[in-house]
Structure 1
Amino acid sequence: MNAQSQDLIRLEFTPNPSTLKYVVARPLLPRGTANFTEKAAAETSPLPLRLFEVDGVKAVMVGPSFVTVTMADEADAAALNDGVHAALHAHLDAGEHPVDPAVLEQAAAANAEDGPVVSRIKEIIEEEIRPAVAMDGGDISFERFQDGVVYVFMKGACSSCPSSTATLKMGIESRLREELPEVVEVVQI
């Protein structure tokens, strides 16, 4: 590890005891997140692939300036933390791109315009909800709006967090219903 990559990584704990958030003082992605729930999906993305090599890593999410790592149930947290730090430093020292640009393009293509209600839902999620969720090492993406129900996908620390149901119902659903009477419910898929 060289002197440039030292002090670039800060560990933060999340509300999900199985997920650790690593804030990196260097941009990783221009915007959004890339979520990897298995090693095979990370084969063309250098940073997640490197992190999956760490014993006990179950899932990886890369954000604009952070990475969240979800631990397997049997993982040794201290050893995993050491391994993740080493992998992050190795990645930063190598100067590689973190995520395959094709993965990012697919995510961007999925965000096509859909009409005024869907556009407003996406705007609220993007501008208000995602930044708040990212503070806890997670992410949320809009999947669809159908029959008054907003379907979202929660990633990173939020995907299996014990308090994600409360966040979903009391936070996200309340905010969307306050703004849009068309929204009846928000459901995590």
Structure 2
Amino acid sequence: MASRTNPRSALGLLARTKQFVQIPKNATTTSRNVARQLHTRTRPAAPILSATTRPRLSSRATTPALAGALLRPQGARTIFIQTEPTPNADAVKFVPNHRVIPESINVPYIEYLNPRSTISPPYPSPLAANLMNVEGVTSVFYGTDFITITKDPDANWAHIRPEVFALITEAVTSGQTLVNTVEGKDGASAAEEDSLAYDENDSEVVGMIKELLDTRIRPAIQEDGGDIEYRGFEDGYVSLKLRGACRTCDSSTVTLKNGIEGMLMHYIEEVKGVHQILDPEEEISMHEFAKFEEKLRNQRGSQE
């Protein structure tokens, strides 16, 4: 344990590890690679990142998808909506080159999981409501400057993409506010703070966990069209919840266990493991996926 007169921080601990851990420039235990162990089947290794370096979106393959004119009193300019693939085949990240969450709203992400949530406090969104009305769309996730659309596994992207492009373009070019702030019935906005934000009541270990998650893991997950939520630390185990594209990804458990858990345990000795927090529908989905994998294994065994 660190002395009281010399408090630790995640970044300080990372710096001190250089005294006994030699990490080559092409090491795979970087924030982006470690946080994405699950994606090694479909993604190449990423270069090492410093503790404060955010992955650049331009390093990923993007597809210019749609352009529209954004008219303003001073003149006109062209906007381009880019799409980026995610590790989840049922989720696509749309980047409109336009801020999605207003600066006045101090949250890292907003997630809409059903039509009712798009019109309910604290952050109703006309655009999200329209997107949820597209046949096959199951959830809408807003990052600071991107939108992740998740579809039903049986739906076809060929039918969904054109409608999504049209709705996002119309919302941006019309100048409408993408997200509103509405007070709840009790008069409070009911806004939730960033779970990784600094809290003076946090213990030293919790502060280190949050710092490591925020600086080394969150940027990589955001680039995949999602985010991560800290839910607590108890008896050596960190409780986390994945959001956006990562929430319904079949291999989200592998992401937590082989990626995030490995990094936290490597740098913070008090961490024994990671627990994934699931919604009821996520538990059902993962249970069905496990049954499907077991069925495939049995079929292979019988053929051999």
TM-score when scaled to structure 2?
0.57
Per-residue CA deviation, residues 93-119 of structure 1 (Å, 9 max, x unaligned), is: 232332333599622175561222222
Code of the aligned partner of 2:257: K
Q: Does the Cα contact within 8 Å between 1:122 and 1:142 map onto a contact in 2?
A: yes
After TM superposition, the structure 1 = structure 2 runs for residues 133-172 of structure 1, keeping only pairs within 5 Å, are 133-172=221-260
Distance in 2 (alpha carbons) for counterparts of 1:48 and 1:146: 36
Runs of 4 or more above 6 Å deviation: none
Q: Which consecutive unaligned segments of at least 5 residues does structure 2 have?
A: 1-66, 71-76, 184-188, 278-304
1:168 deviates by: 0.9
Q: Aligned match of 1:90 in 170, 173, 179?
A: 170
Per-residue CA deviation, residues 44-102 of structure 1 (Å, 9 max, x unaligned), is: 22222121121111011100111101101332211111111111111112323323335
Q: Does the Cα contact within 8 Å between 2:118 and 2:129 map onto a contact in 1?
A: yes
| Corresponding residue pairs, total | 189
1:59 aligns with 2:139: yes
Q: Structure 1 residues 181 and 102 mapped into 2: Cα distance closer, same or farther (>3 Å)?
A: farther
Q: Structure 1 residues 85 and 115 mapped into 2: Cα distance closer, same or farther (>3 Å)?
A: same
Q: Does the Cα contact within 8 Å between 2:68 and 2:78 map onto a contact in 1?
A: yes
Q: Which is further off, 90-99 or 9-18?
A: 90-99
1:149 deviates by: 1.2
Q: Structure 1 residues 98 and 57 mapped into 2: Cα distance closer, same or farther (>3 Å)?
A: same
Tell me the equivalent position of 1:116: 204
Q: Does the Cα contact within 8 Å between 1:58 and 1:70 map onto a contact in 2?
A: yes
Code of the aligned partner of 1:42: T
Residue aligned with 2:178, SS: coil
Distance in 1 (alpha carbons) for counterparts of 2:182 and 2:275: 28
Greater fraction strand: 1
Distance in 2 (alpha carbons) for counterparts of 1:129 and 1:13: 19
Tell me the equivalent position of 2:40: none
Q: Structure 1 residues 17 and 2 mapped into 2: Cα distance closer, same or farther (>3 Å)?
A: closer
Q: RMSD of the TM alignment (CA)?
A: 2.2
1:40 aligns with 2:135: no
Q: Does the Cα contact within 8 Å between 2:108 and 2:194 map onto a contact in 1?
A: no
Q: Does the Cα contact within 8 Å between 1:8 and 1:26 map onto a contact in 2?
A: no
1:99 aligns with 2:175: no
Distance in 1 (alpha carbons) for counterparts of 2:130 and 2:209: 35
Q: Does the Cα contact within 8 Å between 2:138 and 2:152 map onto a contact in 1?
A: yes
1:2 deviates by: 4.5
Code of the aligned partner of 2:69: A
Distance in 2 (alpha carbons) for counterparts of 1:67 and 1:157: 10
Distance in 2 (alpha carbons) for counterparts of 1:122 and 1:20: 27
Distance in 2 (alpha carbons) for counterparts of 1:188 and 1:80: 30
Rg (Cα) greater in structure: 2
Distance in 2 (alpha carbons) for counterparts of 1:184 and 1:47: 42
Q: Does the Cα contact within 8 Å between 2:68 and 2:79 map onto a contact in 1?
A: no
Residue identity (%): 34
Tell me the equivalent position of 1:8: 80
Q: Which consecutive unaligned segments of at least 5 residues does structure 1 have?
A: none
After TM superposition, the structure 1 = structure 2 runs for residues 71-82 of structure 1, keeping only pairs within 5 Å, are 71-82=151-162
Q: Structure 1 residues 106 and 90 mapped into 2: Cα distance closer, same or farther (>3 Å)?
A: same
Q: Does the Cα contact within 8 Å between 1:6 and 1:89 map onto a contact in 2?
A: no
Q: Structure 1 residues 97 and 108 mapped into 2: Cα distance closer, same or farther (>3 Å)?
A: farther
Distance in 2 (alpha carbons) for counterparts of 1:127 and 1:148: 21
